[in-house]
Amino acid sequence: MPGGISYIGDLVVVESGGEITSQAIGNKSLKSTCADDDTIEVNSTTGVLQIKEAGASKANGVQRADMGKTAGFWIRGALTASDSAGGVFSEENTYGTDLVITRVLIALTTGASGACKLDVGIAADGTTLAATLIDEVDLADAGVFDNITNKGSAGASLIKFANGTFCNASVSTGNSAGIVGSYAIHCIDILS
C-alpha cells in the first residue's frame, strides 16, 4: 500500500513497525507505547517487550515497590521522633499471608539529642513495645543499624511476621527527640 500503510476500514497497519491502530484500540495498545524505557523496553534485536536492565546507576528495571511478595519486597518509611510504644514506626502485615522478615534497616541521619535506645519487634498491635528483631540499639549518633549486626541480646536475624500482626519500633529507654532517618523492612512470602 502507499507509504507502507494498509487500511482495512478504520483499521490502520503501519507495515514497517507492525503498529496497528483503530478507533476501538487506539495507540495505547501498541508495543512501543507500552514500553516506558525505564522498566519495560522493546528489544532492538527481537522486537519483543522485556524488563530493562538496571544499568550502571541501577535506576532502571523493576523497582522494589513493584516486586511481588513471593520475590521479596521492602516496606519503608521515615522514622518518627516519638517515645510511645510503636511510635518510631509501626507497620501492619496486611498482605493476606504470614511473611518472613529477613532484614530490618535503620538509617539514622541525625541522632537523638540525648540518650536513646530503640527496640524493634513483632507485636499483636501497633502500640506494644517488642524487641524480637532489634534489642536496644543506641540512637545517640547517626549511623546505619540492622537486625543482623545490631540485634542485641533478644533480637533475631529472621522472624515470622504473621498476617495481622505489627512490626513496631519503640524507644526502650531515653528520649527520641531529634532523630531523623528512615527504615526499611524486607519481607518474603515463603508459603506455596
Map out the domains of the chain as residue ranges: 2-51, 64-188
- Strand-strand pairing, 166-174 and 116-123: antiparallel
Residue 101 · residue 185 · CB < 8 Å: yes
Assign domain 64-188 one CATH number from 2.40.10, 2.60.120, 1.10.357, 2.60.40: 2.60.120
Q: What is the pLDDT along the chain (192 residues), one digit of tens a residue?
A: 556 666 566 666 666 665 655 555 554 455 656 677 777 888 888 877 788 887 777 777 777 777 777 788 999 999 999 999 999 999 999 999 999 999 999 999 999 999 999 999 999 999 999 999 999 999 999 999 999 999 999 999 999 999 999 999 999 999 999 999 999 999 999 885
Instruction: Give the pTM.
Output: 0.74
**What pLDDT is recorded for position 28?**
46
CB 177 within 8 A of CB 160: no
Specify whether the CB–CB gap between 190 and 107 falls below 8 A.
Answer: no
Q: What gap in Å lies between CA 57 and CA 111, rounded to an integer?
A: 29
User: CA angle 128-134-136, nearest 5°?
Assistant: 85
